[in-house]
């Protein structure tokens, strides 16, 4: 018997075969009729194939074909490479002619979707038809970054703190009118679920309880470790906070949370968006604050923890509360802040968030429990939960790339023995080390960051730059930039 596709990929063994048996039994036990095999694209959007229940196990052995141009789309679904011209695709072997890739699902990742009757969900990753991995896949990018850490016996722990907006759908007429269909199309007409400007108020939570209950029930049904739901400052803005976990698990959870919440709320008549700045006159930007620490894989010990302040330091010195490893990691994040920006804030819309006195960063600075700085040090000597909170991210970021950028930047700080400057107490008082203020500036900053480019691999960075420049060019050519962002982002993310 010839080997299956999964065997040719080198991922199928006795343990995976046993997992396929358990998966088949779970599909039967839950009475599933359809199973979605889903993959996360460069923009953090889930795509995939929906299989009938009987087709699932064979597909996890032999793969499911998908057009390779799905990996070459910009944020508006335009293919950013000329796949039918040899010179247009020469830098990406295996993608010529819109050829097929194979999507291979993980049999241990089954979730039963609580909003869709008889429907399951599996996480997948793309492979070339010859059984080799597609290295441009963003999940593999994070896996490679984690392998760098693992060579030192280290792991990466992350906590998710995600702001987003929920609106009530009032009319889908324009969105679904075939006479008005465009590429991309219009979003639905919406109204707010709370009026905002009353942070954490119980009354506004009560007003928005119906959609927040859907968020809560959806997350818990999918076994996502949600700890709190909060009313944020902006109109119709909310926040979800999750328990910390290893980075790959945290990234997988973020992908599942975003796609699931949008779908479940849509079924109930709500429009959820992870767009940083929705297209309305008076809104507050949404951020994704990534809490991070490095841990010893053997013991689980937090390697950022310091038991006593370093000799001769004061509270403005990072080594007063952070270990030497933690301080060097912090310095690496600062050194690569501009270069990493496009991984953390990948949309043109997100750069409107970097402004003074907005609880968002403006410059590459760090502070002790200071929410105006890009990096907020949380914890003190002896605290096992000591961590760095990076406040640069927007909620639309691809979580695999966001986390990989932290690892590569932090490791560079360690490998070069960098020392961070003193903590800031006035994060908006200086124009030094300003973060990029546009997508185009962020792309240029990444291109100029040779160390970060080398860490990600130049082929991947070149690929990312070409796709994001397609997005930037279309924005520059738009007759109505606000309408462009409404269609490009508010309608789709």
Q: Is the pLDDT of residue 2 over 90?
A: no
**Residue matched to tokens 């909620």:** 395
What would the two tokens of residue 451 be? 């160390």
What would the two tokens of residue 331 be? 């310095």
**Residue matched to tokens 């599933």:** 32
- Between the CA of residue 67 and those of 38, 74, 92, 94, what are the distances in Å? 14, 15, 14, 11
For residues 82 and 88, what is the distance between their CA atoms, to the nearest angstrom? 5
Output the pLDDT for position 407.
Answer: 98
What would the two tokens of residue 270 be? 């709500």
Sequence-ordered list of residues with C-beta below 8 angstroms from that of 171, at least 6 positions apart, any chain = 188, 189
**Residue matched to tokens 């600075």:** 365
For residues 460 and 58, what is the distance between their CA atoms, to the nearest angstrom? 32
Long-range contacts of the stretch 301-305 (C-beta < 8 A, 24+): 302/157, 302/384, 302/385, 302/386, 302/387, 303/154, 304/329, 304/379, 304/386, 304/387, 304/388, 305/379, 305/382, 305/383, 305/384, 305/386
CATH architecture of 10-134: Roll (3.10)
pLDDT in tens, 148-165: 999 999 999 999 999 999
Strands 119-127 and 226-231: unpaired
pLDDT in tens, 392-429: 999 999 999 999 999 999 999 999 999 999 999 998 98
Three-state DSSP state, 91: coil
- Residue spans of the domains in the chain: they are 10-134, 146-490
CB 290 within 8 A of CB 390: yes
Q: Do domains 10-134 and 146-490 have the same CATH topology?
A: no
Mean pLDDT value across the chain? 96
- Between the CA of residue 410 and those of 280, 326, 451, what are the distances in Å? 37, 9, 12
For residues 154 and 463, what is the distance between their CA atoms, to the nearest angstrom? 29
pLDDT band at 141 (very low <50, low <70, confident <90, very high): very high
Output the pLDDT for position 356.
Answer: 83
Three-state DSSP state, 119: strand
Output the pLDDT for position 218.
Answer: 98
For residues 490 and 493, what is the distance between their CA atoms, to the nearest angstrom? 6
146-490: what CATH class? Answer: alpha beta
Angle at 262 between CA 256 and CA 264, to 5 degrees: 90
């Amino acid at each position: 018997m010839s080997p299956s596709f999964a065997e040719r990929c080198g991922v199928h063994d006795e343990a995976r075969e046993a997992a396929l048996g358990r998966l088949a039994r779970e599909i039967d036990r839950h009475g599933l009729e359809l199973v979605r095999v889903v993959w996360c694209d460069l923009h953090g959007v889930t795509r995939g194939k929906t299989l009938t229940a009987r087709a699932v196990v064979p597909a996890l052995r032999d793969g499911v074909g998908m057009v390779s141009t799905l990996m070459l789309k910009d944020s508006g679904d335009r293919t950013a490479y000329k796949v039918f011209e040899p010179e247009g695709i020469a830098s990406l072997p295996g993608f010529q002619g819109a050829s097929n890739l194979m999507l291979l699902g993980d049999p241990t990742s089954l979730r039963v979707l609580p909003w869709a009757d008889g429907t399951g969900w599996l996480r997948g990753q793309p492979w070339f038809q010859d059984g080799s991995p597609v290295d441009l896949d963003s999940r593999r990018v994070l896996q490679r970054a984690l392998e760098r850490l693992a060579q030192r016996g280290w792991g990466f722990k992350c906590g998710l703190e995600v702001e987003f907006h929920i609106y009530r759908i009032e009319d889908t007429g324009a969105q679904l009118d075939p006479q008005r269909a465009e590429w991309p199309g219009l979003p639905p007409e919406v109204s707010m679920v709370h009026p905002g400007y009353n942070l954490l108020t119980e009354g506004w939570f009560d007003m928005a309880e119906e959609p927040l209950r859907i968020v809560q029930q959806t997350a818990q049904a999918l076994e996502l470790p949600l700890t709190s739901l909060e009313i944020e400052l902006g109109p119709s803005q909310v926040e979800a906070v999750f328990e910390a976990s290893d980075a790959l698990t945290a990234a997988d959870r973020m992908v599942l949370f975003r796609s699931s919440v949008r779908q479940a709320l849509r079924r109930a008549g709500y429009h959820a968006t992870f767009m940083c700045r929705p297209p309305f006159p008076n809104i507050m930007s949404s951020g994704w604050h990534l809490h991070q620490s490095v841990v010893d894989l053997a013991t689980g010990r937090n390697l950022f923890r310091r038991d006593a302040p370093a000799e001769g330091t004061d509270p403005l010195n990072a080594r007063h509360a952070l270990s030497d490893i933690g301080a060097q990691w912090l310095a690496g994040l600062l050194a690569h802040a501009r270069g990493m920006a496009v991984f953390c804030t990948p949309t043109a819309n997100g750069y409107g968030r970097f402004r003074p006195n907005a609880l968002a960063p403006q410059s590459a600075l760090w502070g002790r429990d200071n929410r105006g700085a890009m990096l907020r040090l949380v914890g003190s000597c002896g605290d096992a939960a000591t961590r760095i909170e990076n406040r640069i991210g927007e909620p639309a970021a691809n979580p695999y790339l966001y986390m990989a950028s932290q690892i590569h930047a932090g490791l560079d700080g360690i490998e070069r023995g960098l020392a961070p400057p003193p903590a800031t107490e006035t994060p908006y008082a200086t124009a030094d080390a300003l973060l990029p203020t546009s997508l185009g500036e962020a792309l240029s900053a990444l291109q100029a960051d040779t160390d970060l480019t080398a860490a990600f691999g130049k082929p991947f960075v070149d690929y990312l730059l070409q796709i994001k420049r397609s997005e930037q060019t279309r924005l520059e050519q738009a007759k109505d930039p606000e309408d462009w962002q409404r269609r490009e982002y508010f309608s789709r993310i």
